[in-house]
Amino acid sequence: MKVGLYANASEHSQRVKHHLLEELGKQAIDIDHEEPDILISIGGDGTLLGAFQKYRNQLSKIRFVGLHTGHLGFYTDWREYEIKELIASILQDTGQYVTYPLLEAVVKFVDGSVMRTLSLNEATIKKMSGTMVADVYLSGDWFERFRGDGLAISTPTGSTAYNKAIGGAVIHPNLEAIQLAELASINNRVFRTLGSPLIIAPDDTIRIVPADSVNLVLTYDQCVIAGRPISEIIYHVAPEKIAFAKYRHMHFWHRVNESFIGKLQE
């Protein structure tokens, strides 16, 4: 069992990282930050997104664990004062895990180059200034012409993040689906979109073809692509999944309740 650590740059998270390294060393647990079996993210949800992007090419080999040094989030099950309990779980590890679906995007640029991205939370396409105009195709068929600030495509776990803030639905991660939500769409007597979030099945695709290929900004999780003219983007459920070590993994609806409501009914 090889354990790797990934921490954000805050002084507090770095202290927790060094303390965790000391405790792992006392138990003679192998440390490998390059090709770990277990990757412990130290920070918050943003830190775990960074860890996911760094290790995205090793998803079939790694199980993630989130250790909080801040506010409670969706991807982190342990707090900094529970290091001994976490190490005890690692020592008793039997390979248990829970998986979540991911979002794949294939970005085709005007110059003919192609880029593939993976997102744990969501991806967006926006225009730097003015109205973004784009044709939206679902599973190859034209669906609508969008006009507005942009479009967001999220995973089920990402449905509680930016997607929720723009009026999208919260989806349980047992559903291998992605969601398309609009950002300030223009709907009047002349221009019309559905105006509702769309839940897309795992074998369906979302193809977005912008009317203007320049001045577009793409994001996927915390990553940004800008300044490259885009011809089209195709989104769908990725073949890969992310795995979390299921030591005491909190149920999804419990996470939603704790994050947005705050107290379970007695």
Which residues have a catalytic role annotated?
A: 45
One DSSP character per residue, 180-211 reads EEEES---SSS-----S-EEE-TT--EEEEES
Q: Dihedral of the CA atoms 132, 138, 142, 146 (nearest 10)?
A: -20
Strand partners, 107: 115, 233
Residue in 178, 98, 173 with CA at minimum distance from that of residue 138: 178
Gap between the Cα atoms of 197 and 15, Å rounded:
42
Helix (H) or strand (E) holding 258: helix 252-260
> Collapsing DSSP states into helix, strand and coil, what is residue 24?
helix
One DSSP character per residue, 39-102 reads EEEEESHHHHHHHHHHTGGGTTT-EEEEEESSS--SS--EEGGGHHHHHHHHHT----EEEEEE
